[in-house]
Amino acid sequence: MVEAYYHDNDDSVDFREPHNSGEKVSLEQLARIGAFYKFCPTLKEVDQVALDRAYKNRDTVSISKESLGDALLPKLQTFYAEHLHEDEEIRYIVDGEGYFDVRNASDDRWIRCKLTPGDLLVLPAGIYHRFTLTTQNYVKAIRLFKDEPKWVAHSRPDADGNPIRSEYLAALQ
Ligand SMILES: CSCCC(=O)/C(O)=C/O
Ligand SMILES: [Fe+2]
């Protein structure tokens, strides 16, 4: 079950540490910024979400020292750079764990979502976010897509003027 809280913003500590400020964030607060969460104990529930939300494609990614070797740290640095996508980002955790940080709406604070097996998180197109492994240094996740699998990240602040970003902000009003 997802655990969500405000990030402590302590950049002197490795980003894979919990960075828990102690201030919890509810599923309702996540829903208000357009993030959809569902606990899916089996793939049957994932399949149902995919059907309901028209996610036609999927693949599985494994992120660890074993799968990426020396490419792990550069990969994590890429994922941890604040970015948005022009499509939803849909992730289901099969094994291991990871943190998705998302910006809140009112004052741009980071909300950290700790995902463990069975957690399915959908981030809306246009939301600024970032990802990291935990200190476990391992996740296996299913990525679901409405169309063909792709990963295109638009960095902040360059993406501030992206029309998908504007649509996202307008939907929050
Ligand atoms: C656990 S999937 C890898 C992270 C990713 O795809 C992404 O877009 C992070 O923001
Ligand atoms: Fe992303």
Instruction: Please list the residues that pair with 7 across neighbouring strands.
Output: 20
pLDDT digits (tens, 9 = 90+) for 138-152: 999 999 999 999 999
Give the strand pairing for 3-7 and 110-115: antiparallel
Q: How far is the CA of 173 from the centre of ligand 2 (A)?
A: 23
Instruction: Please list the residues that pair with 4 across neighbouring strands.
Output: 113
Domains and CATH numbers, the chain: 3-172 (2.60.120.10)
pLDDT at 153: 98
Ligand 1 binding pocket (C-beta < 6 A) is 61, 79, 89, 91, 98, 129, 131, 139, 141, 143, 151
Number of the ligand closest to the Cα of 101: 1
pLDDT digits (tens, 9 = 90+) for 4-42: 999 999 999 999 999 999 999 999 999 999 999 999 999
ipTM of this predicted structure: 0.96
Q: How far is the CA of 3 from the centre of ligand 2 (A)?
A: 19
Choice between 150 and 57, residue whose per-residue pLDDT is larger: 57
Q: Give the model's confidence band at 60: pLDDT under 50 very low, under 70 low, under 90 confident, else very high.
A: very high
Task: Specify whether the CB–CB gap between 97 and 115 falls below 8 A.
Answer: yes
Query: In this model, does residue 173 exceed pLDDT 90?
Result: no
Preceding peptide of 74 cis, ω within 30°: no
For a pocket test of ligand 1, which of 137, 151, 152 has the largest count of ligand atoms closer than 8 A to its C-beta?
A: 151
Instruction: Please list the residues that pair with 39 across neighbouring strands.
Output: 119
Q: Tell me if 83 is assigned to a ligand binding site.
A: yes
Classify 34 in phi/psi space as left (phi over 0), alpha (psi -120 to 50) or beta: left
In angstroms, the CA 144 to CA 47 distance is 10
Q: How far is the CA of 80 from the centre of ligand 2 (A)?
A: 9
Model pTM score = 0.97
